[in-house]
């Protein structure tokens, strides 16, 4: 019989090696915020396949393009789009100079906080508000306004900065893809210049890899000082069929992986999957009312004006081999720790 001290020592050593092995395993896991399951496996398998030199699915690093929708895919989009909160804050500031807004939609609904009516005007209505609240100044002034706002503005329910509500599992996917030679791009229906001031800090995606909807700018030299002046006119709506168009204009290559969460992303996923070779298309499905939100008629959840996920999208995902990520089941953690 071994002295009990000796047994204790052996047990301690065994335990230590298990702990070491477990941490090594955890350290090796590029997606620790994902529960084991089909979604996580699809990502890991895809990356393994396209990076294996000599393998049948190998893709050269310069062709490893991945695109991400922003609202609802990388960060919270409920109860309303974050950029809309920003626009409403600005609208209230500017309202005294625009009495006509009191009776003119979509401004009326916006000022009255009637999100239901506002939602009915869709991306186009949103961009009308964007045009009046985001224009009439230089690009540099706008960047300063956005940076100041985003630095302090908090989500009403979670009481955290909007930029702290980027989904941790998606941040891990971006890191994982970048570590495997991918170029990662944001392709958002939201405004390009609303995102660029903070995407590098929050997502590690630099300004030049961000595309989105935009308003026109004009080059002016005022008092010897060149500036780009933001005009109240929409240049491009980067949503639905606009997403492949925007991807082509901005990136000039077809993605091999695309991530979205709504019917505004369907065409991006179609376009991605229609290319040759191995591809990955994923949709984040908001089915977690406890930790985040649940919306979309698919799976019997309520409809929404921000981030629509109709049954037809679920059907298309199923018939097209797109992976639907269940926020409730696939994500062990949703937000980065406080």
Residues in touch with its own copies (CB under 8 A): 62, 65, 139, 183, 185, 192-193, 196, 200, 206-210, 214, 217-219, 221, 225-226, 228, 235, 241-245, 248-253, 267, 270-271, 274
Q: Which is nearer to its own copies, 8 or 249 (CB)?
A: 249
Considering the complex, what minimum distance in angstroms separates the CB of residue 77 from its own copies? Answer: 22
Q: Which is nearer to its own copies, 4 or 222 (CB)?
A: 222
Between CA 32 and CA 203 the distance in angstroms is 17
Considering the complex, what minimum distance in angstroms separates the CB of residue 164 from its own copies? Answer: 22
Between CA 44 and CA 257 the distance in angstroms is 12
Considering the complex, what minimum distance in angstroms separates the CB of residue 111 from its own copies? Answer: 30
Considering the complex, what minimum distance in angstroms separates the CB of residue 241 from its own copies? Answer: 4
Between CA 224 and CA 276 the distance in angstroms is 51
Considering the complex, what minimum distance in angstroms separates the CB of residue 199 from its own copies? Answer: 9
- What are residue 284's DSSP bridge partners? 325
Q: Which is nearer to its own copies, 119 or 244 (CB)?
A: 244
Closest CA to 65 of 186, 158, 227: 186
Are 238 and 246 spatial neighbours (Cβ–Cβ below 8 Å)? yes
Closest CA to 30 of 20, 43, 17, 18: 43
Residue 185 CA to chain centroid, in angstroms? 10
Q: Which is nearer to its own copies, 148 or 274 (CB)?
A: 274
Q: Which is nearer to its own copies, 179 or 249 (CB)?
A: 249
Considering the complex, what minimum distance in angstroms separates the CB of residue 321 from its own copies? Answer: 14
Between CA 136 and CA 264 the distance in angstroms is 28
Residue 116 CA to chain centroid, in angstroms? 23
Rounded to 10 degrees, what is the CA torsion of 135, 137, 143, 147?
A: -80
Q: Which is nearer to its own copies, 232 or 297 (CB)?
A: 232
Helix pair angle (168-179, 38-51), 10° resolution: 10
């Amino acid at each position: 019989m071994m002295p009990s001290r000796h047994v204790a020592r052996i047990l301690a050593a065994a335990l230590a090696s298990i702990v070491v092995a477990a941490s090594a395993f955890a350290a090796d896991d590029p997606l620790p915020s994902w529960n084991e399951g089909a979604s996580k496996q699809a990502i890991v398998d895809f990356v393994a396949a396209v990076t294996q030199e000599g393998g049948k699915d190998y893709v050269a690093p310069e062709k490893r393009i991945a695109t991400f929708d922003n609202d609802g895919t990388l960060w919270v989009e409920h109860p309303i789009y974050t950029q809309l909160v920003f626009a409403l804050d600005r609208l209230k500031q500017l309202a005294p100079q625009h009495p006509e807004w009191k009776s003119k939609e979509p401004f009326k609904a916006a000022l009255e906080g009637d999100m239901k009516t506002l939602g009915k005007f869709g991306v186009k209505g949103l961009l009308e508000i964007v045009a009046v609240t985001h224009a009439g100044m230089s690009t540099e002034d706008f960047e300063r306004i956005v940076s100041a706002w985003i630095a302090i503005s908090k989500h009403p329910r979670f009481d955290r900065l909007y930029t702290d509500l980027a989904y941790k599992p998606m941040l891990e996917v971006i890191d994982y893809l970048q570590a495997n030679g991918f170029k990662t791009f944001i392709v958002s229906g939201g405004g390009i210049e609303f995102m660029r001031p903070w995407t590098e800090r929050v997502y590690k995606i630099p300004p030049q890899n961000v595309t989105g909807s935009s308003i026109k700018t004009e080059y002016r030299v005022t008092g010897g000082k060149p500036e780009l002046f933001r005009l109240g006119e929409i240049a491009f709506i980067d949503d639905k069929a606009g997403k492949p168009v925007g991807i082509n204009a901005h990136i000039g290559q077809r993605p091999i992986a695309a991530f979205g969460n709504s019917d505004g992303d369907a065409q991006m996923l179609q376009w991605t999957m229609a290319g040759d070779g191995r591809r990955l298309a994923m949709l984040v499905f908001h089915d977690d009312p406890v930790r985040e939100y649940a919306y979309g008629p698919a799976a019997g959840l309520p409809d929404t004006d921000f981030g629509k996920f109709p049954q037809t999208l679920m059907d298309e995902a199923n018939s097209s081999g797109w992976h639907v990520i269940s926020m409730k089941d696939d994500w062990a953690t949703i937000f980065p720790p406080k």
